[in-house]
Structures are given as structure tokens and as C-alpha cells.
């Protein structure tokens, strides 16, 4: 994927400082400031030729045209700017995957705008900043492009209200089919997938785990368990200071059968490689990966987990492992398609 990381940062910096009136007059003003060229304009939309080094260097603007009563008829709803896309070959700004390109752009935007207010991890990641002056900024994957979107805050509020209303309608339709107790149980209970790994190599397991981690949504948890209290677990955690992180947990010796416990030298090597020791009796070994993460980040996390299972927790082969996964606050089944599963 070809991405203009510097161009995305430059455009976001301009948008953050721009004096938005959210009328159609902003199009000429923003194009002038950015060095872009306005192109054809249709009823309700306009196109802008950008200066970004991407495959499709053309932004799209959506106008109100009387669609929303809360915004003037000539009001501007959003500007959508492609900052990465799929070229026919490699070149400047080339990334091996859309995830790597997304992570590179997102890292620059977080340095400029701070930690985002909304995060969507997984195969279609997205970040949204709501706390800016008269502006909402989103970085989203859209089909075969990564798009930087600038939204009118009033339009964003309308989108949020519409999404909430749709969710309420779905809940009402569901209530017609089930009683209240059954509905509450379904909503509160995650769908836990439990399966035995099929015979495979450690290398193949590492590849499959890296792919599974790259597709994990924010609230998913995935655990690999072996007899004697041995486990490795991945989950996302979020804090105001550190943002979103993918955290890996490893069972501490106090929870592991004597036959499989790590030696003092094993624990020292684990700590030296960046793992935090358990602070309390019920804590685990922990190490975190900042998100958005690259494919290489997921591969390193998977390789580390596999190495610990095999070399420190003495799991003889992947067939001994049971996989358990769920998504908190959701009955949706986790995606484990990249793992070779024997039974479920």
C-alpha cells in the first residue's frame, strides 16, 4: 500500500488550525491554504484535487443541500481525503500492508492531536478525535484506501444519534421475540469459543496467532491453555495516559503445577526481555504492544508467546493447547479462522 504519511500529517495540522465556518465557502478557503484545486461540483457534493502523493489524489466533500435541518442548506458536512491506497507497484511511501500504513499515519496523528477518543481495532481499524475546536477528525480504512475525514461536529452528532436510534430499534425488534430475562442474558453473556489446537508446527502456530491478533477487536480476549495452570493470554487495555495497548499475560509460577514452573534463570531471562514481573500474588507476567500496531509488532508478540509456551512453560507440542476466546459485552463469536483447530 502506498501512503503519504507526511502529507496526511500536514493536512491534519492545517485542518486543526483552520477557522471552520462549515459552509461551502470553506472549500475554496481550505483548497487555497492546502495548495489544492477545486474540481467539479454537483448538487450535494464536490471534488478537490489534492497535493498528496497517493494513487487517487482527489478528496470528496459532502454538502448539506437541505438534507439536515440542523445545518444550513449551504452547509458543509465533511471532507474525505485519501491518504493511502493500493498502487500497481511499489515505490516511495510503500507499506507491505494496510495495517502498517494505518499504524504509521495514526502514530503521526496521535503525536499531533493526542490520544483519540474512539478506537476500532481489528481488520477495519479506525480512530476518531472529538475534542478539537469545531472539528471532528477520523482516520478510517475504507475499501482499498485509508481516508482522513474532517467532519462538521453537528453532522457527527447527527451520525451518533442515528447510530444510537438504530441500535434502540434493533433492541426493540429483539424484545418482540424473547422475554426480558432471556434478552438480558444474551446481551450480558459473551459467546466463548473453546477449541483444541490441531497438530501443527510451532512456526505455523506463530503465524496463525499473529494473524488472529491483527484482527482482534478492542474487547476480545484470547487465551492458550495447557494442563497444570499454564497459559498465555492476549487482551486490549486502555488508559488516558498510554492510550490503547495489546497486552500479553503469562501465568506466574504460583499458579503453575510444580512440574512445569519456570526456573529462576527463566524468570530472569523473561524480565530481561521486557516482561514485567507479577507485583502481587494474583498478578501475571505482562508485556504490552502500543496500538495501532504493525504486522511486525503482531509477529513479534506471537513469536514471544509461542517461545514462552514451548521453552519456559514446557508445552511439548501445540496439540496440548486449548484455545479459549470471547468478546466482552458481545455475543458475537471471535474470529479464530487463522488457527488450525481440531475440535470446538
pLDDT, tens digit, 9 for 90 and up, residues 282-337: 899 999 999 999 999 999 999 999 999 999 999 999 999 999 999 998 888 999 99
Which residue, 81, 83, 71, 79, is CA-closest to 27?
79
The whole-number average pLDDT for the span 146-163 is 94
Q: Is-contact 12 110, C-beta < 8 A?
A: no
Q: Is the peptide bond before 3 cis (omega within 30 degrees of 0)?
A: no
| Distance separating alpha carbons of residues 59 and 66, to the nearest angstrom | 22
**Residue 324 bridge partners (DSSP):** 194, 223
Grouping H, G, I as helix, E, B as strand and the rest as coil, residue 201 is coil
Predicted confidence band of residue 166 (pLDDT cuts 50, 70, 90): confident
Averaged confidence pLDDT in the chain: 90
At residue 171, the pLDDT reads: 46
Structure confidence by residue, pLDDT tens digits, 91-106: 556 788 889 999 999 9
| Distance separating alpha carbons of residues 175 and 128, to the nearest angstrom | 32
Predicted confidence band of residue 184 (pLDDT cuts 50, 70, 90): very low
At residue 55, the pLDDT reads: 87
Report the phi/psi class of residue 302: left, alpha or beta, with left for phi > 0 and alpha for psi in -120 to 50: alpha
> In sequence order, what are the residues at sequence separation of 6 or more whose Cβ sits closer than 8 angstroms to the Cβ of residue 48?
27, 31, 36, 37, 38, 39, 58, 59, 60, 61, 79
Residue 170 has pLDDT above 60, yes or no: no
At residue 50, the pLDDT reads: 97
CB atoms within 10 A of CB 161: 10
Predicted confidence band of residue 188 (pLDDT cuts 50, 70, 90): low
User: What sign for the dihedral angle of Cα 59, 63, 68, 70?
Assistant: positive
Output 86 or 179, whichever has higher pLDDT: 86
Amino acid at each position: 500500500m502506498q501512503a503519504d504519511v507526511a502529507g496526511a500529517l500536514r493536512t491534519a495540522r492545517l485542518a486543526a488550525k483552520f477557522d471552520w465556518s462549515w459552509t461551502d465557502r470553506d472549500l475554496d478557503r481550505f483548497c487555497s491554504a492546502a495548495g489544492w484545486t477545486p474540481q467539479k461540483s454537483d448538487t450535494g457534493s464536490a471534488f478537490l484535487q489534492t497535493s498528496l502523493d497517493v494513487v487517487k489524489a482527489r478528496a470528496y466533500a459532502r454538502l448539506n443541500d437541505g438534507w439536515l435541518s440542523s445545518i444550513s442548506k449551504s452547509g458543509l458536512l465533511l471532507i474525505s481525503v485519501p491518504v493511502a491506497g493500493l498502487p500497481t507497484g511499489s515505490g516511495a511511501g510503500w507499506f507491505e500492508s494496510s495495517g502498517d500504513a494505518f499504524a504509521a499515519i495514526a502514530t503521526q496523528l496521535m503525536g499531533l492531536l493526542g490520544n483519540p477518543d474512539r478506537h476500532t481495532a481489528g481488520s477495519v481499524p479506525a480512530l476518531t478525535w472529538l475534542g478539537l475546536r469545531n472539528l471532528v477528525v477520523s482516520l478510517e480504512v475504507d475499501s482499498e484506501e485509508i481516508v482522513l475525514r474532517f467532519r462538521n461536529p453537528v453532522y457527527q452528532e447527527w451520525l451518533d444519534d442515528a447510530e444510537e436510534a438504530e441500535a434502540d430499534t434493533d433492541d426493540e425488534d429483539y424484545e418482540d421475540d424473547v422475554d426480558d430475562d432471556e434478552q438480558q442474558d444474551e446481551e450480558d453473556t459473551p459467546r466463548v469459543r473453546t477449541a483444541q489446537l490441531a497438530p501443527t508446527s510451532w512456526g505455523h502456530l506463530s503465524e496463525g496467532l499473529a494473524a488472529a491478533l491483527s484482527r482482534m477487536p478492542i474487547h476480545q480476549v484470547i487465551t492458550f491453555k495447557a494442563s497444570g495452570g499454564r497459559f498465555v493470554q492476549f487482551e486490549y487495555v486502555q488508559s488516558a495516559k498510554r492510550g490503547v495497548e495489546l497486552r500479553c499475560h503469562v501465568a506466574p509460577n504460583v499458579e503453575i503445577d510444580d512440574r512445569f514452573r519456570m526456573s529462576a534463570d527463566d524468570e530472569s531471562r523473561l524480565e530481561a526481555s521486557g516482561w514485567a514481573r507479577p507485583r502481587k500474588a494474583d498478578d501475571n507476567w505482562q508485556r504490552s504492544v502500543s496500538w495501532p500496531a504493525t504486522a511486525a509488532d503482531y509477529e513479534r508478540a506471537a513469536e514471544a508467546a509461542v517461545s514462552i509456551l514451548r521453552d519456559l512453560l514446557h508445552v511439548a507440542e501445540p496439540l496440548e493447547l486449548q484455545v479459549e476466546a470471547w468478546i466482552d459485552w458481545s455475543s458475537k463469536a471471535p474470529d479464530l479462522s487463522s488457527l488450525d483447530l481440531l475440535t470446538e
